[in-house]
Chains A and B, each alone.
Chain A
Amino acid sequence: MSGLIGDWHALLVLLLAGILPNEVWRMLGLWLGGGVDESSELLVWVRAVATAILAGVIAQILVLPPGALATVPAALRYGAVVAGFLAFLGFRRSIFVGVASGEIVMVGGTIWLG
């Protein structure tokens, strides 16, 4: 990757492989979504698909983890997220409590496993 540090080629890759393929969906939404009614059935479906795709992104980070997360055993990664979700449900749906609990389980488990 050293060839990609800070030069124009890396920024070109960012534009072509990152910014444009990402931004195109926002601009398409702006272009095509103008006529869609706020309470339409189409939006219910579209929102369900958006939620499920985001769920897929979450699952992908856990199943095929990036960087240092790959050094954490799979069972511990899944266990930490399940613990975080249960704490979230059990503590008035608090995002803070859920995130903190998941992190404690992961860090604690890593230290315990050595």
Chain B
Amino acid sequence: MSCAPRSLFHWPAVSLPPFDSPKWQTSPRAFAQGLRATASTVLTLVLFATYLGIGALAHDTGFSLVWVLASTVFLWAGPAQIILISTLGSGATAAQAAIAVTVSAIRLFPMVVSVLPMLRLPATRKREMILPAHFTAVTLWVECFRLLPLVPRERRIAFTNGLGVGLVTASSIATTIGFLLAANLPRTLAAAILLLTPLAFLLSTARNSHRLVDRLALLLGLALYPLVSMLNTGVDILISGVSAGTIAYGVHVLRKRGA
């Protein structure tokens, strides 16, 4: 981490080369810029801490290190990993776990849909975007909106792949450390590490919500879930998310008409 203690208190300034710099001339160089950008964001630190928690949780639930590392690399979605580990750990069937995971993962669909137009050139083929689509999760999504406007369009896929590889690598290291530490972790510390996920997700989403519609969606989503969860439908997150998102969008449309 290149963060001096002082810079941790602020969103670090983005220091990417200007568009005409030779550093953007080839794809490998753009990939390296993406890899380097991983070290310049507080979110990497937050992600690292989140994956310490996931490694520890997997250990305590009885999964192997290989298993949890495979989940970090191939599943690559913190909330889904926590949901999978805790539902299987509480004795749910694989089918029930699959439903819980897929419901939490629906949010990845609009994330991919909104990231891809920033990467695409008219000649870009779908298979070039498979890897960026796989890396898409909340951290990469937030970072793409912040950083991609500063990256020349023809180098954005390579840059995003560099960012993704950097984030997955840091998270895999954290998963391993968390797994190995878990046996000796006091209960309060283990709870503190697990609390990092909701805190970090809440604040990074709030940080990235510039428009009223997104802030409203966040607020309503938080408020509706506890109510909907009392119905115990098995798809509570889906019901509360689609309702809250749609209400927020409705307010956005009404305000636009009124203006």
Q: A and B from one assembly?
A: yes
Report A's interface with B, CB cutoff 8 A.
1-2, 4-6, 10-11, 13-14, 16-34, 36-38, 43-69, 71-72, 77, 80-81, 84-85, 88, 91-99, 102-103, 106-107, 110-111
Complex-state Cα separation, A17 to B95, whole angstroms: 7
B134 contacts across to A, CB distance below 8 A: 23, 26
A48-B216, A66-B194, A107-B188 given; name 16 further pairs at CB < 8 Å: A19-B71, A22-B80, A24-B105, A25-B112, A26-B133, A37-B117, A47-B110, A53-B221, A57-B104, A66-B85, A67-B194, A84-B203, A94-B9, A95-B43, A95-B203, A106-B195
| Chain B residue with Cβ nearest A15 | B74
Is the Cβ of A18 less than 8 Å from the Cβ of B71? yes
What are the interface flags for B193-207 relative to A under an 8 Å C-beta threshold, 1 for contact and 0 otherwise? 011111111111111
Taking the closest CB of chain A, its distance from the CB of B37, in whole angstroms, is 16
Is the Cβ of A94 less than 8 Å from the Cβ of B10? yes
Report B's interface with A, CB cutoff 8 A.
8-11, 42-43, 45-46, 56-57, 60-64, 66-67, 70-71, 74-75, 77, 79-86, 88-89, 94-95, 97-99, 101-102, 104-114, 116-118, 120, 126, 129-130, 133-134, 136, 138, 187-188, 190-192, 194-207, 209, 213-214, 216-222, 224-226, 229, 236-238, 240-246, 248-249, 252
